[in-house]
Chain A
Amino acid sequence: SQQGEEDPQALSIQEGENATMNCSYKTSINNLQWYRQNSGRGLVHLILIRSNEREKHSGRLRVTLDTSKKSSSLLITASRAADTASYFCATANFGNEKLTFGTGTRLTIIP
């Protein structure tokens, strides 16, 4: 099973609204990362939050991490049509470089 499971699998919102995606994982982690994938492209790193951090911001992105619940959320504020993409969470365990990716949330922004 996937280390990271995103929820919801798909999300459609109007441009300008906020989008929230969630990620749950199973084991202890070193950090959790969020990536974006536009159709037909490679993944692009968005933000990394370490296990000792609870919240992090980058531009219109806000990520929270709750290690007690083994969950994270990604909030995109004031969404734009260009935010239409799939979003993946990825977890890094202690001691190695591997990332385990979730199944992704497909976000559609309706103009």
Chain B
Amino acid sequence: DARVTQTPRHKVTEMGQEVTMRCQPILGHNTVFWYRQTMMQGLELLAYFRNRAPLDDSGMPKDRFSAEMPDATLATLKIQPSEPRDSAVYFCASGSGYRGDEQYFGPGTRLTVT
């Protein structure tokens, strides 16, 4: 049963600390998306990759967020330094690459920055 996995599932950290979230997309999927979900803003697209190349990171605060795909089985989202306003659930999703086709979401990383 292929699924997207994310680690960690929960993270509590202090303001100023670095946070790294990891995602393993479904094998064979060549698009990977990072979303952030909060009560106030809903689901926001932060960045996405096609064939490991970043295509759009316009939704991401550039000064503190970075997203990479070091290989086809791993995507990372890093926040440095973290701030309380970064508290949210971060989702990774992958897709088969057909434009606009369905996306498969991971379980999310719930981040709390104190």
Query: Contact residues of A with B, CB < 8 Å?
Result: 2, 30-31, 33, 35, 41-45, 48, 88, 92-104
Contact = CB atoms under 8 A, between A and B. Distances in A.
Contact of A42 (B101, B102, B106): B106
Nearest to B45: A98
Nearest to A95: B99
B102 A97 contact: no
Interface residues of B, number: 24
Interface of B: 4, 31, 33, 42-43, 45, 48, 50, 55-56, 91, 93, 95, 97, 99-108
A35 B103 CA distance: 10
A96 B91 contact: no
Given A97-B50, A97-B95, A98-B48, A48 B102 contact: yes
A41 B89 CA distance: 10
23 contacts: A35-B105, A41-B107, A42-B93, A42-B105, A43-B43, A43-B91, A48-B101, A48-B102, A88-B43, A94-B99, A94-B100, A96-B56, A96-B100, A97-B31, A97-B33, A97-B48, A97-B55, A97-B95, A97-B97, A98-B33, A98-B48, A98-B100, A99-B100
A30 B99 contact: yes
A2 B42 contact: yes
A45 B104 contact: yes
B43 A101 contact: yes
